[in-house]
Amino acid sequence: MAVRVPSMELHRPPPSVSGVRGKSCLQKPFLVQAKRLEGLEKANPRSRGKQSLEQVKKRAPLIRGTVSPPLPVPGHITQPPYVGKKDAPEIASEIQMHDKVSIVHMKAACELAARVLEYAGTLVKPSVTTDEIDKAVHKMIIDAGAYPSPLGYGGFPKSVCTSVNECICHGIPDSRELQDGDIINIDVTVYLNGYHGDTSKTFLCGEVDEASKRLVKVTEECMLRAISACKHGTSLKKIGRRISEHAERHGFGVVDRFVGHGVGRIFHSEPMIYHQRNNMPGQMVEGQTFTIEPALSVGSIDCDMWDDGWTAVTTDGSLAAQFEHTILITKTGAEILTKC
């Protein structure tokens, strides 16, 4: 299941295996909404972001709360084939291509995911717990006759990912209350009529400082700039170049441990979408669907993983933000499927 990328193809020194706050992201393979790049050798810690950490309002380090049991799913709802299996499936080699019939189903799944994400964002307020958000998201998804794709994926215990402040991605909802000034990425994927729709957004909680708002704004801009470059025949590596150029222009670093992915009948498949500069081969093909989901950091672009095996946080505790859309490649551009 691990994805190995030769460092020479990433145009950067190989990453550090740091133990500052937990296990390095390189020490245990995992895969939920995006895939981690594993297998790189040890070197020096990296800090790509040029933003001063003092510009961001000081906040206490993220501390996990209590994780409640997984929520039940009615028996009549179709489950993805990985549910009930201990390990996450390997990344599928097949490209997710669509005809006129399948694209109708794909659009339905993506539109539902977008509505759920929009609703989840309305719940982001000080004192609300991420567990409460998970429960609300879970109910909305099953009420629509769909399955929350993260639930049971490689043992993931919740129906949505909630990543707060320095958590880059794959945060597990728990009893921690959101604080005034937090930022939180909510990552929603639904499985409807045999198709996955995948999307995420970073929301502001209460009164957020200007530096944090800027990180969130630039991260969304990076995703949209990358999408605007997509069309049939375009090189996939153009995505990483567009994102890197815009992030660096504003002094932020692009976290390179996580990649976008093909999505459709299968949750995670080729092509892998690299968000940093790279020399990976491949071109976009009309009718294929995949995600673009860059994560930017104010400071270090390296990450540590908590011992829950999922929660990935920046090694220096610096703020991170992420946005994601599922897109459909057309002859002349790309259609964003995960929007209301």
Token couple for 228: 């605007």
Rg (CA), the chain: 18
Strand partners, 198: 189
Report residue 238: phi and psi, to 5°: -65, -30
Q: Which strand (E) or helix (H) includes residue 111?
A: helix 100-122
Place of tokens 């929660």: 311
Compute the distance between CA of residue 319 and CA of residue 62 in angstroms, rounded to an integer. Answer: 11
Annotated binding-site positions for a divalent metal cation: 187, 198, 261, 293, 324
Annotated binding-site positions: 170, 187, 198, 261, 268, 293, 324
Compute the distance between CA of residue 254 and CA of residue 276 in angstroms, rounded to an integer. Answer: 6
Report residue 237: phi and psi, to 5°: -70, -15
* Amino acid identity at 113: A
Annotated binding-site positions for substrate: 170, 268
Neighbours of 309 (CB within 10 A): 16
* Amino acid identity at 73: V
The dihedral region occupied by 154, where left means phi > 0, alpha psi between -120 and 50, and beta the remainder, is left
CA dihedral 329, 335, 336, 339 (to 10 degrees): -150
Question: What is the SS3 assignment for 92?
Answer: strand
Residue 29 near residue 1 (C-beta atoms within 8 A)? yes
- Residues near 326 by beta carbon (within 8 Å), at least 6 away in sequence: 110, 113, 197, 198, 199, 263, 289, 290, 291, 336, 337, 338
Burial class (CB in 10 A: 0-12, 13-18, 19+), 270: middle
